[in-house]
């Protein structure tokens, strides 16, 4: 099983305010754990910058223009010497951009679309995209929840436009519901969206009765539940939906903030749960989509919980 990792140092230059949970250290922690000998065979590739036109797969041009216009200019050396801080602009209460955020966001899109190209051309069986900013809260015409553009949704549309995929499934196990992905695809039967998430919790969407045109499968979890409830939701709701849909590609919105250490939620998973869920999705990828699976990093805000869980996920991708 060949697993590729897409990454780029520009992701570390998307800066957020002090104390913000979505911070560059998340990727530093992840890359640190991937230095272990067990990851020697991981095919590591620097991500290309994405085409701005790819944003228009799922977002209007007006959103792209608003985000680009909000990105501040880099402060110069004289300003640094005067002790001025890095310039940041708030999109909303949770979401900020810094001078390199546009470039980082485009490179996150480039990684997502390149990952799709990689699995459809057979250069790898599966791909993990270690990018930021994340994407699953970005709605069609609104950036929010740390997210600027919806990387997983763009990847799905790219699979359809560039590779003729008829059915794409997005499975989202981030602890926060992917309201953006649901918003984009809720009227489109060619894309299946399945989500396990804590409820109630930000962003307040993701009830079971939100079903789109039969293509939305939400499996909310109550606070302070854990492995048993997560695996039951996966087994009873997510996997049967995948079996019925028979996707040509599986995309994972791989947030690791359902880990018990995470400070932003109250679901008590550990690394073994992400390993288990990865294996179940790989079984479906083998059965329906020629092993094609693309996993894109979303949340995960405790550095140890994130890095160990992502490591377990990537290890399973590599082992098959």
- Please list the residues that pair with 256 across neighbouring strands: none
Burial class (CB in 10 A: 0-12, 13-18, 19+), 68: middle
Angle (CA) 138-193-230 rounded to 5° is 100
Answer positive or negative: Cα dihedral of 252, 258, 259, 264: positive
Contact 60, 142 (CB under 8 A): no
Burial class (CB in 10 A: 0-12, 13-18, 19+), 243: exposed
Q: Which two tokens stand for residue 41?
A: 């065979």
Angle of helix 101-120 relative to helix 151-163, nearest 10 degrees? 40
Give the separation between CA 226 and CA 229, rounded to whole angstroms.
6
**Per the residue annotation, which of 8, 14, 137, 177 is the catalytic one?**
137
Catalytic site includes residue 31: no
* C-alpha closest to that of 26 among 7, 45, 42, 47: 7
Sorted by sequence, the CB contacts under 8 Å of residue 114 that are 6+ apart come out as: 6, 45, 47, 48
Give the separation between CA 15 and CA 96, rounded to whole angstroms.
8
Give the separation between CA 275 and CA 314, rounded to whole angstroms.
8
Annotated catalytic residues are 137
């Amino acid at each position: 099983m060949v697993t590729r990792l897409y990454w780029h140092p520009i992701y570390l230059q998307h800066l957020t305010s002090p104390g913000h949970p979505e911070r560059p250290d998340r990727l530093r922690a992840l890359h640190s754990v991937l230095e272990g000998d067990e990851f020697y065979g991981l095919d590591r590739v620097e991500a290309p910058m994405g085409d701005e036109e790819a944003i228009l797969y799922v977002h209007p041009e007006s959103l792209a223009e608003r985000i680009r216009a909000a990105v501040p200019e880099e402060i110069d050396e004289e300003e640094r010497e005067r002790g001025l801080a890095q310039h940041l602009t708030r999109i909303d209460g949770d979401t900020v951009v810094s001078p390199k955020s546009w470039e980082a966001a485009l490179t996150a899109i480039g990684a997502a679309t390149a990952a799709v190209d990689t699995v459809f051309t057979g250069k790898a069986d599966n791909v993990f995209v270690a990018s930021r900013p994340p994407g699953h809260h970005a709605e069609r015409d609104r950036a929010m929840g740390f997210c600027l553009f919806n990387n997983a949704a763009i990847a799905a549309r790219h699979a359809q436009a560039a590779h003729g995929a008829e059915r794409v499934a997005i499975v989202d196990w981030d602890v926060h519901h992917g309201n953006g992905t649901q918003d984009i695809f809720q009227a489109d039967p060619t894309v299946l969206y399945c989500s396990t998430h804590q409820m109630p919790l930000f962003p307040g969407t993701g009830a079971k009765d939100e079903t789109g045109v039969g293509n939305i499968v939400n499996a909310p979890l109550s606070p302070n539940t854990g492995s048993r409830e997560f695996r039951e939701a996966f087994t009873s709701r997510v996997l049967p939906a995948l079996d019925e849909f028979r996707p040509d590609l599986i995309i994972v919105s791989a947030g690791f903030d359902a880990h018990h250490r995470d400070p932003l939620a109250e679901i008590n998973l550990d690394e073994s749960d992400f390993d288990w869920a990865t294996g179940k999705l790989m079984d479906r990828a083998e059965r329906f989509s020629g092993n094609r699976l693309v996993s894109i990093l979303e949340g995960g805000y405790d550095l140890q919980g994130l890095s160990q869980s992502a490591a377990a996920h990537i290890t399973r991708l590599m082992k098959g």
